[in-house]
Amino acid sequence: MQNLTKELVIVLDFGGQYTQLIARRVRECRVYCEIVPYHTPAAAILGRQPRGVIFSGGPASVYQEGAPRCDPALYRAGVPILGICYGMQLMTLDLGGEVRPAAYREYGKTSLEVLAAERLFAGMGPRELCWMSHGDTVVAPPPGFVVAARTVHTPVAAMWDVDRRLYAVQFHPEVTHTPRGREIFARFLYDICGCHGLWNMSSFLDDAVRSIREEVGGKGRAICALSGGVDSAVAAVLVHRAIGDRLICVCVDHGLMRKGEPEEVRRVFQDRFHIPLVMVDAADRFLGRLAGVADPEAKRKIIGEEFIRVFEEEAHKLGKIDYLVQGTLYPDVVESGTGTSATIKSHHNVGGLPAEMRLQLIEPLRWLFKDEVRILGEKLGLPEEVLWRHPFPGPGLAVRVLGPVTRKKLEIVREADAIVVEEIKKAGLYREVWQAFAVLPEMKSVGVMGDERTYAYTVVVRAVQSQDAMTADWCRLPYEVLEAIASRIVREVKGVNRVVYDITSKPPATIEWE
């Protein structure tokens, strides 16, 4: 992506779960960025000529044995660096300052006293709110640094050395709880790094098409794993624009799709976009392999492996196929622990891929967030009903049926899920909700229906609001909508006598239950 990386910023990942949010904030400023592990050699980073480098936070203490360290040559390179939380503490330790365990651990919203209303804090008042989350603190900055901000319990909450172009903050400007965090990033990117904000979806589209054409070549052929969801749909149309009918979409009905989804895929992609499409009925195959499997990680890996095997078989039928296109997004990569962050869960198309594959992967959306994918989809001309369809996990309903998957359970959760979506659409709330669906736990409870005792399943309704799926809050749906959902599920879905509503945010929960 040569055009995009003319204004490249590198985010050095020290294992913080907020690292991906840093990338989001940089991109919101229309500057392209990539995340690399903390141990990446300085030569590899500087060889890409970044405009700036950002050190992320992380869970370690800098003075502990084995704590993550960066290549010290970065400090001498003259490239602007912004250290955040752990990144600030590491910068302090590396350059001769002092870090100690904090007498009072700060967590949550904190009042920041701005001592230098310039540079990162230009235009800010003497007091601003920020989000703290740290157990160690900088008690003395390195030689040459000035203290730019402090809090009641943190004597050095921000610092910088203008001559060496080194900046650091103890708080987290990337989270929404720091109200002026985006301004801080903008100051760093524009005023300090000299960026101009050239990155947008139009430039990404042009670069992606060119990159795909170069990778596939003039004769290469590809198949796309098309599920009907937003991600695979955008990936399919993007690659089709790049290589035309040398792309064949393959939709595998694994028996785990939403109600009416296979028919919708055919209608949109074959009839509207005229993209070559192969429909594969593999429900028996998938459900056979999933029989009796309760562990969610095992389910994901089984489904991931079967997906690849089915595509390899279909590719063999279609002649020489070289590539497999997938709609992998950046949150999938992060949560699968492919960087230095902890593994949250294996996504079927990332951590769940089999070790040996005969097709080369093309993942054109791998570094995009969901909202960026939707913008890209608009540029590609995808219809609104596809672009704004709620996210759906790659393993499908298998991870919304807790415990072993059976056809009966799938039918229950499929019908309940359709009701949830229908009622939210009827209330005019579909675009306001990031994701809404039904979950079937491995439990039954006593109820009364028609004056008779029942012992039937409980359905959990989950609805969340989010921007990127990395964090989420539960939706405060109107009571009348919840009542309509519960009433219809109990009345229309055989085998269910109770409906409950999940009011847990992410974190500590994930959006999906498995």
Q: Which residue numbers are catalytic? A: 85, 172, 174
Contact 83, 168 (CB under 8 A): yes
d(CA 6, CA 384): 33
d(CA 465, CA 58): 26
Structure tokens at 47: 């060889």
Phi-psi domain of 24 (left: phi exceeds 0; alpha: psi -120 through 50; beta: other): alpha
Contact 83, 56 (CB under 8 A): no
d(CA 56, CA 45): 15
Name the helix (H) or strand (E) containing 396.
Answer: none
Name the helix (H) or strand (E) containing 170.
Answer: none
Structure tokens at 327: 């709609």
Burial 94-120 (b: 16+ CB within 10 A, else e): bbebebeebeeebeeebebebebeebb
Contact 279, 262 (CB under 8 A): yes
Closest CA to 56 of 5, 106, 91, 94: 91
d(CA 353, CA 355): 6
d(CA 336, CA 47): 28
Phi-psi domain of 217 (left: phi exceeds 0; alpha: psi -120 through 50; beta: other): left
CA 261 to chain centre: 23
Within 10 A of 329 (CB to CB), how many other CB atoms are there? 27
* Matching residue, tokens 């890996």: 301
Diameter over CA atoms, the chain? 80
Report the SS3 class of residue 415. Answer: helix
Burial 460-489 (b: 16+ CB within 10 A, else e): bbbbbebebbbbbebbebeeebbebbbebb
One DSSP character per residue, 325-369 reads E----HHHHHHTT-SSSPP----TTTTTS-S--SSEEE-TTTT--
